[in-house]
Amino acid sequence: MATAALIGTGFIGPVHIEALRRLGITVRGVLGSSAEKSQLAAQRWHLERAYRSLDELLADPQVDVVHITSPNRFHYEQALRALQAGKHVVCEKPLALNSQQSRELVQRARDSGKVCAVCYNIRFYPLCQEARQRIAAGQLGRIFHVVGSYQQDWLLYPSDFNWRVLAQEGGAARAIGDIGTHWLDLISFLMGQTVVSVCADLRTVWPTRRRPLGPTETFATKLQSGNAFAEVAVDTEDYGAVLLRFADGTPGVMVVSQVTAGAKNRLRWEIAGEKAALAWNSERPDELWLGYRDGPNQLLLRDPALLTEAARSYTDYPGGHAEGFPDTFKQLFRAVYSALEQGRPLPGLYPTFEDGHREIVLCEAILASHQQRRWIDVPQDL
């Protein structure tokens, strides 16, 4: 069984460690932003190695797979160096800060023959897998349109701060890049097709925010108060609305916001077809709504016994035993590590560097559309 090491000690790092351990995969060590942070994290998570540098991690012959959970601005270089060192790579989204970097990573990944994945985990909710099966089987008939949103409230106040609000640290698109790309990846997965053109309207609700003088972790500002701060200019959007067109002409609309009070981490979609509609909400992930015009609507509660065979393989607990966010990472890593066991990339099983690149190209098209106030065709360069 392959052995993993982790880069990053923030919000998402422990999610990776927990999920890997649930699968029986050894996590050998961790690299933080300083030797001290590596040490603290290694102690907290009971890991054998606290690496002092990326060189040291990459030189560890016992490490087969590098999980990149560092802030966005490091992803490109760390992924590149991990590939050069002959490691497999599991990278948090976004894969890089721009499409030039992500295109290069796609090429390097292809040349390396290594298993390379990007963590678009929401595909791995069992009822999203179920929806994909039902759509592919034609249960909705011709699809008329797709609508949905991804909303959060952890950046609601101008006193809420995180490195993501600065373009040079998180990427030029923030709400779109941070949560919109999850929605776009998921819907493309459900529909089995890509978005080919976009028309966007973005808004920065807080042009300045108060940056605490100490470090801040994702979601953690909600728990902090009274610290010293500096007022900083914000160059990324809090809100965005995007009209979409899929490859077969199906229209869609996505709204994202990180300033919607009460929305903790709420991704919603509704797909309307000529025979039926389907809807799902990530804050109630074990429920899939099925809408009918000529009969009673249904609510499918996740239960392996009620799912199609393909979707059933993404759920481990009986109905009524809730599965959620941490389980999606377990399912994603199970897919990645099964490719490792088979000794080759298996692109149909998990989101690949190609998928990561596609999301960055989409972000760039959305930003261009907003700036130029018009529809933009999304380059299909892979």
CB of 217 to ligand SOE, least distance (A): 10
CB of 92 to ligand SOE, least distance (A): 7
Of 99 and 258, CB closest to ligand SOE: 258
Does 265 help bind ligand SOE (rule: CB under 6 A)? yes
Q: Of the two residues 11 and 292, which places its CB atom closer to ligand SOE in the complex?
A: 11
Minimum CB–partner distance for residue 49 and ligand SOE (Å): 26
Instruction: Look up residue 291 and give its two tokens.
Output: 């809408």
CA distance 290 to 279: 7
**Closest separation between CB of residue 242 and ligand SOE, Å?**
17
| 311 counts as binding ligand SOE under rule CB under 6 A | no
**Contact mark string toward ligand SOE, 6..25, x via CB under 6 A:** -----x--------------
In angstroms, give the least distance from the CB of 212 to ligand SOE: 17
Q: What x/- string results for residues 166 through 185 when contact with ligand SOE is judged by CB under 6 A?
A: ------------xx--x---
DSSP string of 319-350? TTS---HHHHHHHHHHHHHHHHHHTS--TTTS
Q: Specify whether the CB–CB gap between 170 and 363 falls below 8 A.
A: no
Residues 232-261 within binding reach of ligand SOE (CB under 6 A): none
Given the complex with ligand SOE, which of 246 and 329 has the nearer CB atom?
Answer: 329
Nearest residue to ligand SOE, scored by beta-carbon proximity: 178
Are 210 and 173 spatial neighbours (Cβ–Cβ below 8 Å)?
Answer: no
Whole-number Cα distances in Å, 175 to 43, 250, 260, 367: 34, 24, 12, 11
How many residues bind ligand SOE (CB under 6 A)? The answer is: 7
Nearest distance from C-beta of residue 271 to ligand SOE, angstroms: 21
- The binding track of 114-153 with respect to ligand SOE, each residue x by CB under 6 A or -, is --------------------------------------x-
Under rule CB under 6 A, residue 218 binds ligand SOE: yes
Q: Which is nearer to ligand SOE, 72 or 250 (CB)?
A: 72
Query: Any idea what the Cα angle at residue 274 is, between residues 268 and 280, rounded to 5°?
Result: 15
- Shortest reach from residue 125's CB to ligand SOE, in Å: 12
Pick the closest to residue 279 from 232, 271, 59 (CA basis).
271
Taking CB atoms within 8 Å and a gap of at least 24, the contacts of 241-244 are: 241/200, 241/201, 241/202, 242/176, 242/180, 242/198, 242/199, 242/200, 242/201, 242/366, 242/369, 243/198, 243/199, 243/200, 243/375, 244/146, 244/184, 244/195, 244/197, 244/198
**Nearer of residues 39 and 218 to ligand SOE, judged by Cβ:** 218
Q: Based on CB atoms, which residue is closest to ligand SOE, 29 or 177?
A: 177
**Shortest Cβ distance from residue 71 to ligand SOE (Å)?**
10
Residue identified by tokens 């992803």 is 75
Check: CB of residue 33 under 8 Å from CB of residue 9: yes
- Minimum CB separation from ligand SOE for residue 188, in Å? 16
Nearest to 154 by CA among 8, 265, 4: 265
- Residue 96, phi then psi, degrees to nearest 5: -160, -175
Nearest Cα residue to 30 out of 44, 22, 21, 19: 44
Based on the shown chain and the rule CB under 6 A, indicate whether residue 216 belongs to the binding site for ligand SOE: no
Positions that interact with ligand SOE (CB under 6 A): 11, 152, 178-179, 182, 218, 265
